[in-house]
Amino acid sequence: MPDTKFAKPWHGIPREEIDWHPRIDEDACIGCGTCVTGCSRKVYRFDFDRKKAVVAEPMNCMVACMTCANTCPTSAISFPAVRTILDLSDRVEVHHAVEDELLTRRDELGISSVLPHPDHLAEMVVREIEEIGGATRIITLAPRREHDRLCQHAAGQYLEVWVPNASWMSRAYSIGNAPRPDDSIELQIRKVEGGRLSSWAFGPVAVGDVVAVRGPLGNFTNRSPEGKPIVFVARGTGFAPIAALLEQQVELFPARTMVLYWGATSSEDFYELEHLGEMVATAPGLSATLVARRFLPGFAAPTGVATTLGRVSDAVLGSGLDLAGFDAYVAGPRLTVTDCVAALAERGAPRQRIFADSYGT
């Protein structure tokens, strides 16, 4: 029988609903017993008569653990694809369960540290709220006082935000614009059913509200030498850091060869298309393609912007581009980023020159 202390729900999901446990190829198993003695959860037993390891209690297996497979000398142990767990870990309820457990066990799990400059708290005021299609909001924040001005951010970085009176932890959002003289910042927030910051951004938020912030943070910034061609790939609001990088490059080097692929589930999920059209018109070196599973009747892409049906990773793969000399920047959900990195590499982009930024919900 599974041990109840091991087979408990995983971040709120019943353990029996998660297909995660080892499988043994008996022909490859040499009966060394490394997996049996090495697993503290007693997933395995040892058949001394046949000299084989046996998976006796699969539900005892720690979700996402593959230590036994990594230490098996004959690679006799296999697990389901890790994407199984990545799909689960991106669910809103899993994020919330992890956050709630951290807060509940703060005394046990917390550690104090001093954050160095520029990672300081500042206060910013909600200056503008722009709703786009009902599914995305752009919230513009501005420094509340002179000493609340952040260190000048680099395009592609993110900001950590604390909503006042919230019982949940801070949220990190990519800054959706290149640096501005007034140090204002755009956050592009997607409506997520049950999402905590999303519920604030599409609910009680109002112009004049004050939020605490920390940043700028992150190193998803331009690392490409002048003149080197760049391909940008984004999905959903992963477009936020890509848009900031693109805006910066269009302003500095409009003739630079740049290629953009922006994917979404539906054409209604695209936003700031007018701004994208302006960048394409301004920069002779820029080409852009919108990729969606479906385009609604009446949808019109900006002049000079192409459209194609499907997944953004497939669009990159089927583009026919030779990306051997390109740098690549990819942003979006974790699984999409994984697929796009693989597609870019297959099209010739050097893996060491593919810079990726993934986010959760």
Provide DSSP, 290-353.
Answer: EEEEE--TT--PPTTEEEEES-HHHHHHTS----TT-EEEEEEEHHHHHHHHHHHHHTT--GGG
Torsion angle defined by CA atoms of residues 162, 163, 165 and 169, in that order, rounded to the nearest 10 degrees:
-50
**pTM for the full model?**
0.83
Residue 163 carries which side chain, given as an amino acid letter?
Answer: V
Structure tokens at 194: 């049950």
CB burial readout 176-209, b (16+ within 10 A) else e: bbbbeeebbbbbbbbebeebbbbbbbbeebeeeb
The segment(s) of the chain belonging to CATH 3.40.50.80 are 230-359
Q: Considering the chain, what percentage of its residues have pLDDT values greater than 70?
A: 96
Of 11, 14, 9, 18, give the one whose Cα is nearest residue 58. Answer: 18
For 137, list phi and psi in degrees, rounded to 5: -125, 140
What are residue 235's DSSP bridge partners? Answer: 263
Structure tokens at 245: 């990088």
Is residue 185 a contact partner of residue 141, using CB atoms and an 8 Å limit? yes
Residues 208, 195, 329: CA angle, nearest 5 degrees: 90
For 29, list phi and psi in degrees, rounded to 5: -70, 130
The Cα 255–Cα 245 span in angstroms is 15
CA–CA distance from 77 to each of 46, 81, 296 (Å)?
14, 13, 47
Is residue 331 a contact partner of residue 221, using CB atoms and an 8 Å limit? no
Is residue 271 a contact partner of residue 132, using CB atoms and an 8 Å limit? yes
Of 344, 324, 159, 297, give the one whose Cα is nearest residue 240. Answer: 159
Residue 121 carries which side chain, given as an amino acid letter?
Answer: L
Residue 124 carries which side chain, given as an amino acid letter?
Answer: M
pLDDT score of 113: 67
CATH T-level topology, domain 121-217: Elongation Factor Tu (Ef-tu); domain 3 (2.40.30)
For CA atoms 198, 135, 332, 178, the dihedral sign is negative
The segment(s) of the chain belonging to CATH 2.40.30.10 are 121-217
Q: Which secondary-structure segment (H or E) carries 356?
A: strand 354-359
Q: Which CATH class is domain 230-359?
A: alpha beta
pLDDT score of 119: 52
CATH code of 15-89, in short, is: 3.30.70.20
Question: Which positions of the chain have pLDDT values less than 50?
Answer: 118, 360-361
Angle, to 10 degrees, between the axis of helix 273-282 and the axis of helix 239-252? Answer: 30
The segment(s) of the chain belonging to CATH 3.30.70.20 are 15-89
Peptide bond connecting 225 to the previous residue in cis, omega within 30 degrees of 0:
no
The Cα 279–Cα 287 span in angstroms is 10
Task: Count the helices and strands in the chain (H runs, E runs).
Answer: 10, 16
pLDDT score of 307: 97
Of 316, 257, 315, give the one whose Cα is nearest residue 283. Answer: 257
CA–CA distance from 340 to each of 156, 207, 276 (Å)?
18, 37, 21
